Amino acid sequence: MSKYDKEIKKLNPIQFFVTQQNGTEKPYDNEYNKEFRDGIYVDVVSKEVLFSSKDKFDAHCGWPSFINPINKDNIKTNMDISHGMIRTEVRSKEGNSHLGHVFDDGPNGNLRYCINSASLIFIPKEEMIDKGYKDYLYLFEESK
């Protein structure tokens, strides 16, 4: 039994397929591919903080793409040899949700974390305090 069983039961079918069955949602036809407001992305199951809109970019692949996680300790990677490919799977550390894959073809030699929208919840900057994520507002402070 997982401490997240209650949250897993609340998932819609695509969220369950992606996070619990290592699935992939359709490219371009997902909630956050074109979302570029300031905010953070958290695991749909555990609510652990994963990515910032500051590290998001349009990779033209059909899924949300990020250069870095906010905290690399909140993710784990595994070799994925499914579908006749060798890839690096990305999972949330605490919730163990399948998020997507990481590739070495990001902008300026960076990584590209290609993540399923169905594995995420977007918390807009203006809602971060109310939803308990005020500690991450520093990500959106303007440098002087």
98-103 and 112-115 as β-strands: parallel, antiparallel, unpaired? antiparallel
The residue type found at 123 is I
Beta strands (DSSP E) in 18-96 are: 39-43, 49-52, 56-57, 65-66, 75-80, 87-92
pLDDT at 77: 96
Q: Is 61 designated active site?
A: no
105 forms bridges with which residues in the sheet?
none
pLDDT at 143: 60
Catalytic residue among 42, 45, 102, 114: 114
Q: How far apart (Å, rounded) are the C-alpha atoms in residues 129 and 83?
A: 41
From first to last of the 144 residues of the chain, give the pLDDT tens digit.
Answer: 679 999 999 999 999 999 999 999 999 999 999 999 999 999 999 999 999 999 999 999 999 999 999 999 999 999 988 888 899 999 999 999 999 999 999 999 899 999 999 999 999 999 999 999 999 999 998 765
Using DSSP, state whether 134 is helix, strand or coil: helix
Q: How far apart (Å, rounded) are the C-alpha atoms in residues 41 and 48?
A: 9
Q: How far apart (Å, rounded) are the C-alpha atoms in residues 67 and 90?
A: 13
Which ranges in 10-121 belong to alpha helices (H)? 13-21
- Specify the DSSP element, H or E, that contains 114: strand 112-115
